[in-house]
Amino acid sequence: MNKNKPKFWRTPSGLAAMGLIGAASYFLFVEHGEHVFPYVPYLILLLCPLMHVFMHGHHGKGHEEHTRKGKTFQEHSKDNDRYRQGFIDGLSEARQKEQKGEHNDAH
């Protein structure tokens, strides 16, 4: 597959299709709004499965690309432990500063 090939929507045909879809949508809603608006909730519900089908179209292609490149579970756990410890240290430090501030305000 040629990776330098532009996406359909960036080609002149795609731009013409977007213009046609936009014009048709405009006239549909402006001229026939009272016929279309009762069906808008159903159209929104219909968009959910359509978006799922068309936006997940890249799955199933090129399984050899799914090699493990990220961190292992243990590496993520170590990072989480470091983050948690830093958060706890920051809380402790803030509480100590707050107590010192309250102690200084009392005098």
pLDDT, residue 32, reads: 87
How would you classify residue 70: left for phi > 0, otherwise alpha for psi between -120 and 50, otherwise beta?
beta
> Cβ distance 36 to 28 under 8 Å?
yes
| pLDDT of amino acid 65 | 52
Which 3 state secondary structure label does DSSP give 60?
A: coil
Question: pTM of the entire structure?
Answer: 0.37
pLDDT of residue 67: 55
Tell me what pLDDT residue 8 has: 87
Interatomic CA distance for residues 66 and 43, integer angstroms: 35
pLDDT in tens, the chain (107 residues): 556 778 888 899 999 999 999 999 899 889 988 888 898 899 899 998 888 888 876 665 555 555 556 777 777 788 888 888 999 999 999 999 988 887 666 55
Give SS3 for 69: coil
